[in-house]
Amino acid sequence: MKMKNKRYYKITTEIAGEQVSYFVYGTPAEVKYPVGEWAEAPKWLAKKKYGLFVFDGLKNAREFSKLCTSPCLWRCEVDGIFDRLPLSVSMHGLNAGKVIKLRAKNYPKGTVMVKRVKLIRQVKSGAWK
């Protein structure tokens, strides 16, 4: 379900001219985000009921971006919003291509999980740092 009135934001990083997952670049969980095209979670993650993360507003995305080095912030369209966030997973597990669930939902404020993300417009860094 695409929400037209709500704005969502995705944080990526640019590697070799491509927009890719910020924290899981170079792992089996990596996602490439071609601008203007739909991107989805890797099939193995989707089968485990995990999707892609976005933020529910610019303020929450800005706050989180302060923890990142060279982030790219994008306004995006989303499709397939999850009703609730699943348990967090271990980064060690993702690096190994496994879902190792943790006992909590440790997500930054404003985190939303969705099935698909389409990067629409990059937010200039001076507008959000």
Taking a C-beta distance cutoff of 8 angstroms, is the pair 120, 71 a contact?
Answer: no
The two three-digit tokens of residue 51, written as one number:
């999707």
The owner of tokens 């993360």 is 53
Question: Does pLDDT of 32 surpass 60?
Answer: yes
Q: Residue 125: its pLDDT value, please?
A: 62
Q: Residue 126: its pLDDT value, please?
A: 52
Question: Does pLDDT of 100 surpass 60?
Answer: yes
* 55 CB neighbour count, 10 Å cutoff: 24
Domain segments of the chain as ranges: 8-127
What pLDDT, in 10s, does the model give residues 46-97? Answer: 999 999 999 999 999 999 988 888 899 999 999 999 999 999 999 889 888 9
Q: Residue 68: its pLDDT value, please?
A: 82
Q: Residue 128: its pLDDT value, please?
A: 44
Alpha carbon distances (Å) from 123 to 8, 29, 102: 12, 25, 33
